[in-house]
Amino acid sequence: MRLLLVVACLLNALTTFSQDASRPKPIHKQQAGAFAQLDWENDAFQVHQRSVTDRYYSNGIRLTHLSNYWQKWPTHYALLRLNPKDKRSYKALYNASVGQELYTPRDTRSVRPPLYPYDRPYAGYLYVAWGLTTTDPTGGRRLSSSLALGVIGPASGAAELQDHMHGLLHQAVPAGWGTQMKNDPVISYTVRYEGRAIPLFSPVFDVISEVEGTIGSLMNAAGMGGTLRVGLFNDYFGHPTGLYSAGTSPRKFQCYAFIRIGFRAVLDNSLMQGGWLNGAKNYYALPAVELQHFYGQTDVGGVIAGKNMQLTFIQHVRTPEFVGALSDQWGHLALLVRVGK
């Protein structure tokens, strides 16, 4: 209950940085362009332990279209914006995405895994989401918000996708998808506020801090973290994508490394406990006492970008999310392409 109050207070505080979302007013009407992004996460991409695959977070894929076209959709009423100060010129970019995530236990050979010791249950998540990112180059601020609607359970198609991919690769098919979390609709709302942690004193060194909160029937959580960037890069707060933009992000070629360290407090997680409607029917769902309500995560990666394209590779390592769990690790590839002015 106290964590829920913390999340509520966090989100309430973040709204002080936003305009009245009930009016779809553009923020100084700056067109930030149109982009397409493909994100693919898979534990086979991690390099720390090459023999560890299909454990916990197994696969995730997301396709995103970033364009202020999505400001025309009624979902924009739910999204938060930075509150302009001193007639500053801001950049705003809306987006819409569709994605799928797959989760498996450590033991994927058993048709009906034993309840003890507890292992992560099979779970799939299919969703559509709408978001808005606003940047303040002068003040070094960035606010992102997103609303996601989806479903967990067999309707997500996770079992069919993994079985098909393993068949194509001639790999063993996970045997326990028949025990996955039951079908349940989910809704999730996330807000993230980022700011420059220290004054920018070097063009090749940057430190960014962040706080975030997620509420809804998918999970309820709050977190904080920081990112260190070293290399050749544009101002993180100059443009929502970081790509070249005349006047605010002048560098056409970027090449830099980064490390992010974050901590999160989690109240509940339907991907392990089952959804709010049918959670009680999930025989393999983890009880609340088995969750680790606090965990940390380290992300290490690199970015190479040109004027109209950006490639990102990240290694994620997360501390255990439930009692008796091992650390989770996976790789992340992201390709961002400019598709319109």
CA distance 311 to 37: 10
**Residue-level pLDDT at 30:** 57
- Helix, strand, coil shares of the chain as percentages rounded to 5? 15, 45, 40
Q: What is the CATH number of the domain that holds 274?
A: 2.40.128.140
Phi first, then psi: give them for residue 48, nearest 5 degrees.
Answer: -70, -50
Q: How many domains are there within the chain? A: 1
Q: What is the pTM of this model?
A: 0.88
Task: Give a yes or no: residue 239 inside a domain.
Answer: no
Q: What burial letters (b/e) apply to 104-141, b meaning 16+ CB within 10 Å?
A: bbeebeeeebeeeebbbbbbbbbbebbbbbbbbbebbb
Task: Give a yes or no: residue 71 inside a domain.
Answer: yes
Task: Give a yes or no: residue 251 inside a domain.
Answer: no
Task: Give a yes or no: residue 101 inside a domain.
Answer: yes
Structural domain boundaries, residue 190: 2-16+48-227+263-291
5-41 residue pLDDT tens: 444 444 444 444 444 444 444 444 455 689 999 999 9
CA distance 93 to 30: 9
Residues with Cβ within 8 Å of residue 200, at least 6 apart in sequence: 140, 206, 235
194-230 residue pLDDT tens: 999 998 888 899 999 999 999 999 999 999 999 999 9
Maximum alpha-carbon separation in the chain: 62
Judge whether residue 173 has pLDDT over 60: yes
Task: Give a yes or no: residue 338 inside a domain.
Answer: no
**Which burial class, exposed, middle or buried, applies to 175 when counting CB atoms under 10 A from its CB (0-12, 13-18, 19+)?**
middle
CA distance 268 to 272: 9
Task: Give a yes or no: residue 157 inside a domain.
Answer: yes
271-309 residue pLDDT tens: 999 999 998 888 889 999 999 999 999 999 999 999 999
Task: Give a yes or no: residue 119 inside a domain.
Answer: yes
